Structures are given as C-alpha cells and as structure tokens.
Amino acid sequence: MRIMIAATLILGLAQIQPVAAAETAKCAPVSEKEIAKLFDRWNTSLATLKPEAVVKNYSENSVLLATLANKPRLTHAERLEYFEHFLEKKPRGHIDSRDIKIGCNWAVDVGTYTFTLKDGSKVPARYTYTYEFENGQWLITSHHSSMMPEK
C-alpha cells in the first residue's frame, strides 16, 4: 500500500513539474499598447523605403505571407526581395480594427488595415502578426496579410 501511495505521489509530482517550470520562465513585461506600437515601428520602416529597415522587424526564421504576393517568404533574402518591390509602391498602412492577445514572450495582433499606395489607390486587407521576445526585442515571427475578399 505504501509503495502504491509513493508511486502515485511521484507520478503526480512528475505531472506538475513541467507546469512549475513554465511558470518560472522569465516573461518580458509588455502591454497591449506596446504591442500595438510594433505595427507603428513596422509601418515607419516602410516609410524609409529601405527593404533592410523593414526586414529588421522580422525574426530570422519568420514567415511572411504578403498581401501582394503568392509565394511565402521564408528567408531573409526572400523577405528583402519582396519589400524591394512592395516599397516601390510607397505604401502607408493604417489599422482599421485590431485584437491583441499576449502571453509569456509572445503576442498576436490580428485585424484589418488599409494600405494607401503612391498612386492614391487603397488596398484593404486582413492581417495577423505574431511576435516573440528574442534577444531583448520584440520581432515578427509570422506575418500574414490578405486582401479583403468582399467589396
């Protein structure tokens, strides 16, 4: 009987241990307002018209599923190539609606935005940005943007 109780206690503690380890992880403090400002940082980098400035916002292993491209951009070079062409349009983004969720060293910002291009045209789109806190900074780990399907 004592062996059974001891085994039950050990198994129970083994199941609790991963939760306790996760709870002791150091989480970077961040607010919804600070996460919202990450879009502003990205949008400001578009205004530089320098692809490298935009790509600095992305994690090395991030995924970009861009609004005006069919091909996923999985590497630094592919993201640079996309922004070289996208920046020729002199885009300026504006958030129309958003919802932000925050966890331990991650955040998700989803919503709708509209890009105004140099020719005055507007591109309404849906977006999802996922962020992770890496090496002391918040970086985009995935960015999905797609034009609105309905007029």
In 1-151, which ranges are continuous DSSP H helix?
2-23, 32-47, 51-55, 76-86
> CATH number, domain at 99?
3.10.450.50
> 22 lies in a domain?
no
Instruction: Specify the pTM.
Output: 0.82
What is the arithmetic mean of pLDDT over 22-43? 90
Number of domains in the chain: 1
pLDDT (0 to 100) of residue 13: 41
**Which of the two residues, 43 and 17, has the higher pLDDT score?**
43
> 111 lies in a domain?
yes
> 20 lies in a domain?
no
pLDDT digits 0-9 by tens, 38-81: 999 999 999 999 999 999 999 999 999 998 889 999 999 999 99
> 5 lies in a domain?
no
pLDDT digits 0-9 by tens, 107-116: 999 999 999 9
What is the arithmetic mean of pLDDT over 82-97? 97
**Structural domain of 47:** 27-147
CA distances from 14 to 43, 74, 151 (A): 46, 38, 54
Does residue 24 surpass a pLDDT of 80?
no
Which residues, 6+ apart, have CB-to-CB distance to 106 below 8 Å? 130, 131, 132, 133, 141
Radius of gyration of the chain (CA): 21
pLDDT (0 to 100) of residue 4: 46
Whether the CB-CB separation of 25 and 104 falls below 8 Å is answered with yes
Whether the CB-CB separation of 53 and 45 falls below 8 Å is answered with yes
Largest CA distance in the chain: 80
